[in-house]
């Protein structure tokens, strides 16, 4: 298979959360015509693809991740013709388009569930996960919903419980029923026939469950929670052995991969809530019968971002992912903004924070695999603090004040500093408030500043596209004596590129004779600070060198 057909292996993907991108009709909610209005903004970043979060018909109890019609556009976002216009415009600009597919569950308002719930003997009676109550009428086991409380809800119509790993209004589909799998693949083909270039697959590792419905064991004090799991989140009070990450899910991936490959498209899998997200992610993408690429929370944990931690993470990825590909990302609509997660562990200086932002931009485009940039991270947006009476996220509302919700990373994009609602909408009431501090990072402000983070992302992404080693090279970690640095070589037949990153707020001096010899190149180079056999890397500095020069 040619490198061109393997574009997903090194793609830079930009995630759009439609509700918060651009509102074209003044109702306070972003929509598809708004995306079309700013498609050139996305294209000008130099990215390969755009991932658009759900815009399908939905009662919006989980803001589109509770789908009532997989093939219809919800009127708040526009029409199917609006989506077709985005597809055409994106393809005209050489942008691939990935759309979210939520195949683990539907809305309780989906016709499939309405029929399944009506009786135990209808055509779709086994399309969802139904289980009898225990003798005392209680749920069949102790499984917990990720959103809090029991993962089981009672349906009087059937006198049975149904499984919902998320909200009670999001019943889980029964992937053990081949008719369900066939219906899902038929839905996938509908969108592929329209011309989409792939799917982001929501919570893939939840598709199957232990059919004996065994209780999950309680997590003992000496068993740490998975990376990224908040200590206050009750879902991780159990070791989730039986409600997700079942080996049967892997067998379901082959027909999905076969269908996607026939269209030359790709799959980006979300691996969520796993005990070991890296290991699970690798299992879902290693091999031609698995998915193409996956992302997880490895870079989205609330802990210090040190050179030692990054070195271990890269080393483990290289060990686990053979022919599979990881998608590096440090932010999505489900996680707090990366700026806040890491800035609290760094000095508060604005200069140092800016240096860190620029260093991270260089890092994420240099790692092996593809990468995803969540809207607003290219502007360096901070996590918004949403007052309780303005919160929208059901996860945050249900867990308040102990569980941090997702509203703070979903606030609208600031386009114009001085405009009402920062240019996002003409409405006086956007669906989430826009922090004043986001106005200072608005697109128009950064467009006017050649040294802004936005321009840095553009230059780095376009530079990456011209480097064969970053597009198709392998990665060799370097063992550097200086513990504040991370270094690696990206190499292919056409190029060898040395990449060194200072992950500390102090200036670091590195002996150049202990590094592969090369000529400084590319973005973020501080070649004017190298002298004799010493490289001076300023706080959060970056050094690239072409080893072929």
Asked whether 31 and 18 are in contact (CB, 8 A), the reply is yes
Please give the Cα distance from 240 to 219 (Å, whole number).
Answer: 9
What tokens appear for 223 in the block?
């068993």
* Active-site option among 23, 62, 270, 357: 270
b/e map 82-116, b = 16+ CB within 10 Å: bbebbbebbeeeebbbbbbbbbbbbbbbbebbeeb
3-state secondary structure of 71: strand
Determine if residue 294 is left, alpha or beta; phi over 0 gives left, psi from -120 to 50 gives alpha, anything else beta: beta
Please give the Cα distance from 462 to 192 (Å, whole number).
Answer: 28
Angle between helices 350-364 and 453-465 (to 10 degrees): 20
- Catalytic site includes residue 108: no
Q: How open is the CA angle 90-51-72, to the nearest 5 degrees?
A: 85
Tell me, rounded to whole angstroms, the distance of Cα 481 from its chain centroid: 33
With a CB cutoff of 8 Å and minimum separation 6, the contacts of 211 are 176
The residues that bridge with 380 in the sheet, in sequence order, are none
Asked whether 210 and 242 are in contact (CB, 8 A), the reply is yes
* Active-site option among 48, 202, 275, 377: 202
Asked whether 516 and 495 are in contact (CB, 8 A), the reply is no
- Catalytic site includes residue 270: yes
Q: Which of 252, 53, 238, 211 is nearest to 144 (CA)?
A: 238
Please give the Cα distance from 428 to 175 (Å, whole number).
Answer: 44
Strands 325-329 and 293-295: parallel
Strands 485-491 and 474-478: antiparallel
Asked whether 169 and 59 are in contact (CB, 8 A), the reply is yes
Please give the Cα distance from 213 to 211 (Å, whole number).
Answer: 5
Helix intervals (H) in 365-447: 394-399, 436-439, 443-447
Q: Which of 255, 333, 349 is nearest to 63 (CA)?
A: 333
Please give the Cα distance from 454 to 445 (Å, whole number).
Answer: 10
Please give the Cα distance from 398 to 427 (Å, whole number).
Answer: 28
What tokens appear for 161 in the block?
């419980």
- Which residue do the tokens 């607003």 mark? 376
Q: How distant, in Å, are the alpha carbons of 107, 145, 169 from that of 60? A: 9, 18, 10
Residues marked as catalytic: 202, 270
């Amino acid at each position: 298979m040619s490198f061109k057909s393997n574009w997903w292996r090194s793609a830079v993907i930009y995630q759009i959360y439609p509700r918060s991108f651009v509102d074209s009709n003044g109702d306070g909610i972003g929509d598809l015509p708004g995306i079309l209005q700013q498609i050139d903004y996305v294209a000008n970043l130099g990215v390969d693809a755009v991932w658009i979060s759900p815009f399908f018909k939905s009662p919006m109890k989980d803001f589109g991740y509770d789908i009532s019609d997989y093939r219809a556009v919800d009127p708040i976002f526009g029409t199917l013709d609006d989506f077709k216009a985005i597809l055409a415009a994106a393809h005209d600009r050489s942008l691939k388009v990935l759309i979210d597919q939520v195949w683990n569950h539907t809305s309780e308002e989906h016709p499939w569930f309405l029929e399944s719930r009506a009786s135990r003997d209808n055509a779709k009676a086994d399309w969802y996960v139904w289980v009898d109550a225990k003798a005392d009428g209680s749920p069949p086991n102790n499984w917990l919903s990720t959103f809090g409380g029991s993962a089981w809800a009672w349906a009087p119509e059937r006198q049975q419980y149904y499984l919902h790993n998320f909200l009670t209004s999001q019943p889980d589909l029964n992937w053990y029923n081949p008719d369900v799998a066939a219906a899902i693949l038929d839905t996938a083909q509908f969108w592929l026939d329209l011309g989409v270039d792939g799917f982001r697959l929501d919570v893939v590792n939840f598709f199957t469950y232990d059919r004996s419905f065994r209780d999950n064991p309680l997590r003992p004090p000496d068993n740490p929670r998975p990376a990224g799991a908040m200590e206050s989140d009750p879902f991780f009070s159990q070791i989730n052995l039986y409600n997700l990450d079942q080996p049967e899910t892997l067998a379901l991936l082959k027909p999905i991969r076969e269908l996607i490959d026939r269209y030359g498209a790709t799959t980006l899998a979300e691996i969520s809530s796993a005990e070991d997200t890296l290991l699970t992610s690798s299992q879902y993408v290693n091999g031609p019968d698995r998915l193409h690429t996956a992302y997880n929370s490895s870079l989205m944990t609330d802990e210090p971002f040190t050179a030692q931690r990054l070195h271990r993470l890269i080393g483990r990825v290289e060990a686990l992912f053979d022919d599979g590909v990881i998608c590096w990302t440090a932010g999505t609509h489900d996680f707090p903004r990366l700026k806040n997660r890491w800035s609290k562990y760094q000095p508060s200086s604005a200069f140092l924070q800016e240096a860190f932002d620029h260093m991270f931009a260089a890092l994420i485009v240099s790692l092996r695999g593809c990468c995803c940039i969540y809207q607003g991270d290219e502007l360096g947006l901070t996590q918004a603090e949403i007052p309780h009476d303005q919160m929208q996220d059901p996860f945050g509302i249900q867990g308040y004040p102990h569980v941090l919700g997702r509203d703070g990373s979903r606030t609208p994009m600031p386009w114009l500093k001085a405009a009402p609602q920062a240019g996002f909408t003409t409405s006086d009431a956007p669906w989430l408030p826009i922090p004043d501090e986001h106005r200072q990072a608005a697109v128009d402000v950064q467009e006017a500043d050649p040294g802004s983070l936005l321009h840095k992302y553009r230059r780095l992404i376009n530079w990456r596209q011209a480097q064969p080693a970053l597009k198709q090279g392998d990665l060799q970690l370097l063992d550097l004596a200086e513990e504040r640095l991370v270094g690696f070589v990206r190499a292919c037949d056409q190029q060898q590129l040395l990449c060194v990153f200072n992950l500390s707020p102090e200036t670091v001096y590195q002996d150049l004779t202990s590094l592969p010899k090369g000529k400084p190149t590319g973005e973020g180079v501080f070649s004017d600070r190298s002298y004799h056999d010493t490289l001076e890397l300023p706080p959060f500095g970056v050094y690239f060198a072409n080893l072929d020069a």
